[in-house]
Amino acid sequence: MNNKIGIRHEDKYLMERRVALTPEHVKKLIKNKGIEVYIEPSAKRVFTDNEFDNVGAILTPDLSVPPVIFGVKEMPNSFFERNKTYIFFSHVIKGQSYNMPMLKKMMAQKCTLIEYERITDEKGRRLIFFGRYAGLAGMINTLWSLGQRLQEQGIQTPFSILKQSHKYTSLEEAKNDIIAVGEEIKLNGLPECICPLTIGVTGYGNVSQGAQEITSLLPLQEVSPNELLELKNNRDISGNIVYKTVFKESDLSIPIDSNTNFELNHYYEHPEAYKNAFEKYVPHLSILMNCMYWDDRYPRILTKDFLSAICENNDQKLQVIGDVTCDPDGSIECTHIGTEIENPVFVYNPKTRKPTMGFKGEGILVMSVDILPSELPRESSIGFGDALFDFVKPIASVDYQVPFELLNLPDPIKNAVIIHRGELTPDFEYINQYL
């Protein structure tokens, strides 16, 4: 029975500072579970090498000893060793072309891959995730981006005091700043030229809940999608309030056949039978916070053609898009890249259909940082490790040399095994078409 695991340092992004298990988790694994933990040193990780050393971890640049390796983001092809097991966010389940070489290398090395994203309960709800922290950091960044963008236009607002998420020492410090912004709005209001200030949030899962946790610190009034359409005609609108609307699937898409009603299960099973219904809300939004799951079977919620049309009609209220889902050319078509923490925003010009990095330029500001939880690295690592902890011993100790059907893993983990000993498991054989 194996009792050794490795924790890899993260090198995909310069500002990736998260870790799957914190020193406190490692301490408990060593003391209570009899696990030996090998740690690859990292100068940038939010928890220092000394913190891991002090709890009894083995610091080493060579992770050849442990047969099971935990990480966060993708690993380079040269890292994979024969017959080993790796658990990380692999980004292969949609057949992402940029990660197919990595998957093929893992298959050639007869590796086993466990995908965090597919660790779910019997109802399909994810059990191990950073989503809430993506929503928290994404909303902080988006409100900061709004303040910077308006300041660029010569409009002073309370949002200008905010900082990018990673520049705060803690989530609590960021929340305190947003509370202060809310008090200023409540007391003195917002400039009339941007009122009513409206925030639209797509989705209602963990990412959305994180984003809404931040908006709740402002003087907030929630309005339905239909009420949003009438808001500008409402005499009771206030510059001392921020208006929030949450959009569900039935607000985003409608059946192509007008004689049928929207049915959620049918939508998930036959997305090709639906078309965009969201764009009518866009001219009424100041901020669009995109927090939903999307793949290319579903209608886009915001196309370049539509942005071009509202720009030509001078019907553009939208200032900032916070695209937390960060799918290049995806549900928000103008999101052409996932941006880096050190260069987080670009302005998309609907006329030229070209982006310009930074806050300057004509068009709509897009914040699409690809690793938002790493802007809150300490809190997100603690939350992630808390969810992962109870699964570590079963993942480490199982015999991976047996056939897949005999693999004695907890169901949520076994259902997340993408490849076993180099072969795609039954639920993931569809990935063959992308290889």
The two three-digit tokens of residue 342, written as one number: 């050190």
Residue 143, Cα to own-chain centre: how many angstroms? 17
Across the range 205-209, mean pLDDT stands at 94
Mean pLDDT of 284-298: 93
What does the domain layout of the chain look like in residue ranges? Answer: 4-129+377-434, 131-375
- Residue 279 and residue 282: Cα distance in Å, rounded? 5
Instruction: Give domain 4-129+377-434's CATH number out of 3.40.630.30, 3.40.50.720, 3.40.50.2300, 2.120.10.30.
Output: 3.40.50.720
What pLDDT, on a 0 to 100 scale, did the predictor assign at position 277? 93
List for the chain the helix, strand, coil content (%; round to 5).
Answer: 40, 20, 45
Q: Write down the pLDDT at residue 369.
A: 95
Q: What is the mean pLDDT of residues 229-241?
A: 86
Alpha-carbon distance of 258 to 32, in angstroms, equals: 60
Q: Tell me the CATH class for 131-375.
A: alpha beta
Least confident of 80-84, 313-317, 426-430: 313-317
Confirm whether 4-129+377-434 and 131-375 share one CATH topology: yes
pLDDT at 315 exceeding the cut of 70: no
pLDDT in tens, 145-197: 999 999 999 999 999 999 999 999 999 999 999 999 999 999 999 999 999 99
Write the CB contacts of 62 (distance below 8 Å, at least 6 apart in sequence): none
